[in-house]
Amino acid sequence: MCRKRITRTLLTLAALLAAACSRFDDMTLFDFPVVEVGEALPSSISLESREMLSSPGTHYIHDSLIITRNFNGEYLFSVAKVGSDDPGVQFCPRGRSNLEPLNSLPSFDVENDESGLKVDFISYFPFRFFRWNVTESLLTQKTSYDYVCDIHSDTTSTFYPTSFFVISDNRICFLESGQNPYYSWPTSAPSYEIYSLQTGQKIKTIRPYNLPKMPRRENEAFPSQLYYSSFEAIRPDRRCLVSAMLYVPQLNILDLDTEKMTGYRPSGAKGLNPDKMRFHFLDIACNQERIYALYSGNKPKNGMPVGNVTLKVYDWEGTPLCSYDVGTKSRIFIDETTLYLTDIYQTTLYQVPLADIR
């Protein structure tokens, strides 16, 4: 009897020890304050739907235009009308000369100013910034670049930016992932690298994240490099970035003037659990007044989001303003007047006037 009690006690202690070893405090990832905020109760909203041309690639919707970054082919981008059977016009020829891009990062930045619609993208290797004038290219039916600049990374062989934005004072900000394709453990924490768009030289580095503490064991299906995965958007004045984390229920806002970042997460929300992966934020967009984010909170299936998602709306102080049940959507875009959503297969476009989101 005594032996059974001892065995049972040892098994209980082993189970508790295993649970303690598997716990992970995701707050150790952040070298900045994280504020707990309330939640806005979700309500319903009416979405207008229409068919959109579905093609493989990274899409951006603006004023009834679909801009697609093509995975392969002779041209990097194509532009088509929403709902049209016409595949559209292709632009930005791939690698026919030293001055043409060979490829591009999956992310690209879209701007609309008084001179028209522009797309900024990065080609590699070598790293080169291109500003493509979409409006002029559509008028002339010929690719037109406003500006091209070489980026002189001092660590080109290990430079793995996941997104970038042109910011104030003719600078460009890269989110450097810190990832290394040969290791599951990150070699450095993600950082923001600021470069001059005049010289292509690095100006400074902003380091808001910490490397995670090495766990006793790592989930091979969820390597530590993925902990920081996020979606970014920049405020139109180019002075604040917002980062919505995929595996942590947290929104991070970086003031590029003060270089200070603050995180916002719902009160009592469970953080990252390496053994029980969940998708949180799926995509994000913003304007000068508000941040619009798609939130899941569900376990993925075969690496894809499942279940209904919520459109969450915040101000630039991280305060939740309102939220809406929007079904199974996975991408979000906004222009001056309209918010657009697409389903996971990008075959249907849903839209709602921004004025209806209160």
- Going across the sheet that includes 171-176, the strands are 161-167, 171-176, 191-196, 202-206
> How many Å apart are CA 57 and CA 72, to the nearest integer?
9
Rounded-to-integer distance, Cα 207 and Cα 197, Å: 21
| Three-point CA angle 336, 112, 170, nearest 5° | 130
DSSP one-letter string for 239-263: SEEEEEESSSS-EEEEETTTTEEEE
Amino acid identity at 81? K
Up-side HSE of residue 104: CA atoms within 13 Å toward CB?
31
Record the pTM: 0.89
Instruction: For 85, list phi and psi in degrees, rounded to 5.
Output: -80, -10
- At residue 15, the pLDDT reads 40
* Two tokens, residue 308: 């209904």
Buried-state track 19-38, b at ≥16 Cβ within 10 A, e below 16: eeeeebebeebbeeebeebe
Q: What is the distance between the alpha carbons of residues 245 and 30, in angstroms, rounded to a whole number?
A: 12
Q: Residue 21 has what pLDDT?
A: 44
209 DSSP 8-state letter: B
Annotation: CATH topology of 32-356: Neuraminidase (2.120.10)
| Sheet architecture: strand order including 329-334 | 48-51, 348-353, 338-343, 329-334
Cβ–Cβ < 8 Å for 277, 247? yes
Neighbouring residues of 178: CB distance < 8 A, sequence distance ≥ 6: 160, 186, 187, 188, 189, 190, 191, 209, 225, 228
69 beta partners:
58, 77
Structure confidence at residue 346 (pLDDT)? 67
Is 72 strand, coil or helix?
Answer: coil
What is the number of other CB atoms lying within 10 angstroms of the CB of residue 87? 11
Residues 6+ apart with CB under 8 A from 313: 40, 290, 291, 292, 293, 320, 321, 322, 323, 357
Contact 266, 39 (CB under 8 A): yes
Identify the three-state secondary structure at position 5: helix
Q: Quick check: helix, strand or coil at residue 9? A: helix
Q: What is the pLDDT of residue 17?
A: 38
Any residues with CB less than 8 A from the CB of 352 and at least 6 apart, and which? 45, 46, 47, 48, 338, 339
- Tokens found for residue 286: 């913003």
- Residue 341 to residue 48: CA distance in whole angstroms: 10
What tokens were used for 187?
A: 């070699």
* Structure confidence by residue, pLDDT tens digits, 194-234: 999 999 999 999 999 998 776 556 666 677 778 899 999 99
pLDDT of residue 349: 87
pLDDT tens, the chain, 358 aa long: 544 454 444 344 434 334 444 567 899 999 999 999 999 988 889 999 887 755 656 788 888 898 988 888 899 999 998 877 788 899 999 987 777 898 888 788 998 888 899 999 999 877 899 999 999 999 999 999 999 999 987 655 567 788 999 998 999 999 998 766 555 566 688 999 999 999 999 999 999 999 877 655 666 667 777 889 999 999 999 999 999 999 999 999 999 999 999 999 999 898 888 888 899 999 999 999 999 999 999 998 887 888 899 999 999 999 999 999 999 888 999 999 999 998 776 678 899 999 999 8
d(CA 129, CA 151): 7
* Residues counted in the chain: 358
